[in-house]
Chain A
Amino acid sequence: MIEAIDLDLIAAVQEGLPIASRPYALIAEQLNLDESEVIARLSKLKQQGLIKRLGVIVKHRRLGYCSNAMVVFDMPDTHINEMGQRISQFHFINLCYQRPRHGDQWPYNLFCMIHGKSREKVLQQLSYLIEHCALENYAHDILFSRRCFKQRGALYFPRGSGFSHENRD
């Protein structure tokens, strides 16, 4: 169970941190707490893993990452953990998950994301990955994104918005 004060704290920061010299003091003031308590509680939430990280999320297209590809493989269940870990070592792999297949409609169970500035570059990286992980014998597909309809953080607390996670592409 998350403590009530922590819930208030999460609600106060979920839309973002104040951009001012003493951000945690400003949050403390808003919640009627001491700055030191805000710092201690946020540190604890981070240590517990409830806060995965603090920092920025970039709009990848604005940085020139216009070719984002979801690369999927049909991997035998006996190999998938080993291959998932191996694929994750490559610097251009941003996310890597096992997800369920859906019969003939969708035979793939290993999903990873490659963000690149051009399709050519992404395809080169995929070839490199296939060669270096000996993936030639596994069926795969590459799904480039064409349009982004919506990109925002997820909502958790009705009190606030812009609650972001990193499961995006």
Chain B
Amino acid sequence: MDEIDRAIINTLQVGFPICPSPYKKVAKTLNISEQALIERLQTLLDNGILSRFGPMFHAEQMGGALTLAAIKAPQDNYDTMAEIINSFPEVAHNYAREHVLNMWFVLATETPEQIQQVINQIEAQTGLTVYNMPKIQEYFVGLKLEA
């Protein structure tokens, strides 16, 4: 990854135009050719530095729902609990964190009702209490990590 790649990542984290030749437009601001942008972007996706390129949708406006949830997984069967949770397609991501509540995951479902259904299923399969922490208020969402 060189300076041009970093500039591409930083620029495309902010946005991508909706016009007939969007790559050409972005390439111009980066002072590179359209072909160079296309090739470099493909490489960044292929080698896994970028996980995704495209539209990010507003889950709730799409009719869907999101929540953050946590469990207290016992140390001696932590990995088994992680496997159970990860097996649910509704689990978008799952992290081990340093706390008594030591496993934190995000659920994303097609409808709001399904959140509770999935939580019930996870509780049934793990035998653990799921602490559901849906957002009440959003103050800021602007995940941009400078490359």
B58-A25 in contact (CB<8A): no
* B127, CB-defined interface residue at 8 Å: no
Query: Which chain A residues (49-92) contact chain B, with CB distance < 8 Å?
Result: 49-60, 62-63, 65, 70, 80-81, 84-85, 87-88
In contact, B18 and A143 (Cβ under 8 angstroms): no
B contacts with A: majority SS: mixed
Q: Determine how close the nearest CB of chain A comes to the CB of B72; give it in whole angstroms.
A: 8
Interface residue total, chain B, C-beta cutoff 8 A = 76
The 8 Å CB contact of B20, one of A24, A42, A113, is: A24
Also in contact, A141 and B86, with CB within 8 A (given A154-B59, A167-B141, A168-B92): no
Starting from the known contacts A19-B23, A88-B139, A164-B54, 11 additional A-B residue pairs (CB-CB under 8 Å) come to: A10-B57, A17-B16, A57-B56, A59-B51, A95-B141, A98-B135, A105-B101, A105-B131, A111-B68, A154-B64, A156-B59
B-side residues, CB < 8 A to A, are: 9, 12-24, 34, 38, 41-42, 44-45, 48-59, 61-64, 66, 68, 70, 82, 85-86, 89-101, 104-106, 108, 110, 131-145, 147
